[in-house]
C-alpha cells in the first residue's frame, strides 16, 4: 500500500479556500448542465465531500492494522508500530518519506474503553505525538511544544465516556472512537542516535485502561482476508459506488459522530437518507444520478488545487499552507488534505514548503539534475524554528534519490559551513561541488526533482513563517 502523507504536497499546487459547493463553482459544461436542477444530487456531492475524511481514515485503519503482529509500517489495533530507521532510495511504501523523525504510531478504538499512552522522559529531544480523530482533526498534540519533555501519561477517552482515571493520568477526550496516534521522534540517523531513539520507542507504552498498571500482552491481530492490502487507500475509496460509500459513512458515524458545528450540513444530509446514528436509507436517492456522485465529488475536491484566496502562500517558488490539522467547517480543505496529505499536523507543529520549479511565472522551470542550483540563507536567516528544519530531495515521484553520500536531506545537523559574510549556501546538484563544500551539498538526481522543506515547531515570534514575516529565499540556478 502507498499512503500519500504529503505526497503531492499541500504546498505549491494551489488550494481553493471557498467552501461553496454550488454547481456553478464545481463544474462547467454538459455534466453540470445535466444535473444542475437536481437539489438531491448536489446534496449528495456535499455529503460525499463531508464524509471523505472519515471514510478514508477507516480504510487506512483497516489496511494498516490487518496483520497478525507488528511488522514494518503495519500493526494490529492497539499495538505500537516503531519504525527503526530512515528509508533509503529503494523505499517505495510511502511517498514523500522523511529522514528526520522516526514514526511511532498506532490506531486505537476508544468506543468500549479508554486507552492509556505513556511517553518516557525525552529530555531536550524534539518529539510530538499528534492524535487524530476519525475526521482527521488533530485534537491533541502532546510533545515538546505543548507538554515539554518530561515523562507523561494520557488516557484517550471516547465520546461520552464517564469514569475515574488513576492518579497522574491526564484525560484526552477524543470526539470519535477512531484515534490515530502519529508519533514522531527526532533522530540524527547515526548508529548511536538510532540506539537512543530505539530505547525511547521501547519505553513508550499503550494499554487499555483496564490493564493499566498490570502485566499486559497484546493479543494477536485478526486478519481479514477480504481487505485489499495492495491497492492504494485513496484508490479504494474513490472506486466505491455511492451506495457503498454512504452505507459505510452512516455506519461509521454511529461511533464517530459529527461535531456540533456540523449541524447545518447534518440537517441537509438527512433529506437524502444520511443521518448520524442510523443506517443509510438509500430509498431517498434517485437511481439516475447515483453513478455520477463519486467521480464528480472527488473532482470537486481536487478543484481546490486550482484557485487560492489565502489557503496557499506561493513565495519565491515555494508553496505551503498553514491551514492543516484543524478544519472547523471548511469541508473542502479537510477533504483535500485527506486526499493528498493524510495525517497533516497543525501548522504550529510543522509547515512543509515545497518547490516544484525554480523561479516564478513564465520564467519558471522544473528542477533538473543537469543544472546546478544554490539556496542561500542570509546571515541569521536560516528557517526560524524551535524544533528543527531540513531540506529534503525527492525525484519527480516523491521518493529518495540514491547518491554517494546517502544523504536525502540537509539541515543544521550537517554542521553547515558559513560564508565570510555569515550567509549559508546549500548546493543542490548532481555532482559534488568539491570536497570543501560537500558539508553543504544536497545531492540531486540526474533528472527531474522536487524540494521539500520541513519546519517543525516554527517560531511564532517575528520573524515567522506562520505570519509571513520570514520569507523563504528562492532557489537560484547557477550559470
pLDDT tens readout for residues 277-320: 999 998 887 766 788 899 999 999 988 765 544 477 889 999 89
Residue 134: helix, strand or coil by DSSP? coil
Residues of the chain scoring pLDDT < 50: 1-31, 33-37, 308-310
Closest alpha carbon to 54 in 160, 180, 159, 145: 180
Structural domains of the chain, with CATH: 3-61+230-321 (no CATH), 67-211 (2.60.40.1610), 353-477 (2.60.120.1600)
To the nearest 10°, the Cα dihedral for 355, 361, 362, 363? -50
Provide the pLDDT for residue 36: 47
Instruction: Kindly give, in sequence order, each residue whose CB lies less than 8 Å from that of residue 37, ignoring residues fewer than 6 positions away.
Output: none
The predicted model scores a pTM of: 0.88
Question: How far, in Å, CA of 462 to CA of 261, rounded?
Answer: 33
% pLDDT > 70, the chain: 90
Q: How would you list the strands of the sheet with 152-157, edge to edge?
A: 170-173, 152-157, 115-119, 205-208
Note whether 114 and 161 are within 8 A (CB). Answer: yes
β-pairing, 3-4 vs 94-95, is parallel
Provide the pLDDT for residue 28: 44
Question: How far, in Å, CA of 301 to CA of 49, rounded?
Answer: 7
Q: Give the burial class of 132: count Cβ atoms within 10 A of its Cβ; 0-12 exposed, 13-18 middle, 19 or more buried.
A: buried
Note whether 155 and 209 are within 8 A (CB). Answer: yes
Closest alpha carbon to 351 in 470, 443, 234, 441: 470
Provide the pLDDT for residue 436: 94
Question: How far, in Å, CA of 245 to CA of 256, rounded?
Answer: 16
Q: What are phi and psi of 157, to 5 degrees?
A: -110, 150
Note whether 331 and 265 are within 8 A (CB). Answer: yes
Q: Which residue is it, cell 517560531?
A: 459
E-assigned strand segments in 85-226: 94-95, 101-109, 115-119, 127-128, 131-133, 138-140, 152-157, 170-173, 178-186, 205-208
Question: How far, in Å, CA of 370 to CA of 435, rounded?
Answer: 20
Q: Residue 457 CA to chain centroid, in angstroms?
A: 15
- Cβ atoms within 10 A of the Cβ of 453, count? 22
Provide the pLDDT for residue 15: 25
Residue 186: helix, strand or coil by DSSP? strand
Amino acid at each position: 500500500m502507498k499512503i500519500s502523507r504529503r505526497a503531492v504536497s499541500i504546498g505549491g499546487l494551489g488550494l481553493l479556500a471557498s467552501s461553496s459547493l454550488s454547481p456553478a463553482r464545481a463544474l462547467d459544461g454538459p455534466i453540470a448542465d445535466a444535473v444542475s436542477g437536481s437539489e438531491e444530487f448536489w446534496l449528495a456531492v456535499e455529503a460525499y465531500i463531508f464524509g471523505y475524511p472519515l471514510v478514508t481514515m477507516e480504510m487506512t485503519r483497516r489496511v494498516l492494522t490487518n496483520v497478525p503482529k507488528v511488522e514494518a509500517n503495519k500493526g494490529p489495533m492497539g499495538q505500537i508500530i516503531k519504525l527503526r530507521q530512515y528509508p533509503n532510495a529503494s523505499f517505495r511504501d510511502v511517498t514523500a518519506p522523511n529522514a528526520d523523525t522516526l514514526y511511532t504510531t498506532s490506531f486505537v478504538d476508544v468506543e468500549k474503553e479508554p486507552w492509556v499512552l505513556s511517553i518516557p522522559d525525552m529530555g531536550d529531544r524534539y518529539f510530538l505525538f499528534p492524535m487524530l480523530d476519525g475526521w482527521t482533526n488533530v485534537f491533541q498534540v502532546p510533545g515538546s511544544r505543548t507538554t515539554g519533555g518530561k515523562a507523561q501519561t494520557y488516557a484517550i477517552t471516547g465520546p461520552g465516556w464517564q469514569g475515574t482515571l488513576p492518579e497522574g493520568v491526564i484525560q484526552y477526550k477524543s470526539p470519535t472512537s477512531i484515534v490515530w496516534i502519529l508519533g514522531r521522534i527526532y533522530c540524527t540517523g547515526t548508529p548511536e542516535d538510532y540506539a537512543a531513539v530505539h530505547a525511547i520507542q521501547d519505553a513508550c507504552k499503550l494499554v487499555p485502561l483496564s490493564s493499566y498498571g498490570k502485566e499486559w500482552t497484546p493479543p494477536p491481530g485478526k486478519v481479514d482476508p477480504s481487505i485489499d492490502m495492495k491497492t492504494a487507500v485513496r484508490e479504494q475509496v474513490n472506486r466505491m459506488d455511492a451506495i457503498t460509500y454512504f452505507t459505510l459513512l452512516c455506519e461509521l458515524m454511529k461511533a464517530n459522530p459529527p461535531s456540533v458545528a456540523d449541524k447545518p450540513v447534518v440537517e441537509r444530509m438527512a433529506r437524502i437518507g444520511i443521518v448520524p446514528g442510523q443506517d443509510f436509507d438509500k430509498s431517498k436517492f434517485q437511481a439516475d444520478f447515483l453513478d455520477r456522485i463519486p467521480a464528480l465529488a472527488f473532482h470537486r475536491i481536487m478543484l481546490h488545487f486550482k484557485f487560492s484566496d489565502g489557503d496557499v502562500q506561493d513565495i519565491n517558488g515555494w508553496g505551503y499552507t498553514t491551514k492543516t490539522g484543524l478544519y472547523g467547517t471548511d469541508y473542502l480543505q479537510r477533504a483535500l488534505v485527506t486526499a493528498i496529505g493524510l495525517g497533516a499536523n497543525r501548522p504550529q507543529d510543522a509547515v512543509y514548503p515545497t518547490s516544484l520549479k525554480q523561479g516564478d511565472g513564465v520564467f519558471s522551470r522544473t528542477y533538473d539534475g543537469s543544472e546546478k542550483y544554490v539556496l542561500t540563507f542570509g546571515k541569521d536567516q536560516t528557517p526560524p524554528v524551535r524544533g528543527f528544519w531540513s531540506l529534503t530531495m525527492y525525484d519527480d515521484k516523491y521518493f529518495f534519490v540514491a547518491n554517494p553520500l546517502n544523504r536525502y536531506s540537509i539541515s543544521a545537523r550537517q554542521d553547515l559551513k558559513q560564508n565570510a559574510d555569515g550567509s549559508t549556501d546549500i548546493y543542490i546538484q548532481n555532482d559534488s561541488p568539491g570536497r570543501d563544500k560537500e558539508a553543504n551539498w544536497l545531492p540531486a538526481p540526474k533528472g527531474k526533482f522536487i524540494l521539500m522543506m520541513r519546519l517543525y515547531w516554527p517560531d511564532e515570534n517575528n520573524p515567522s513563517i506562520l505570519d509571513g514575516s520570514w520569507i523563504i529565499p528562492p532557489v537560484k540556478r547557477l550559470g
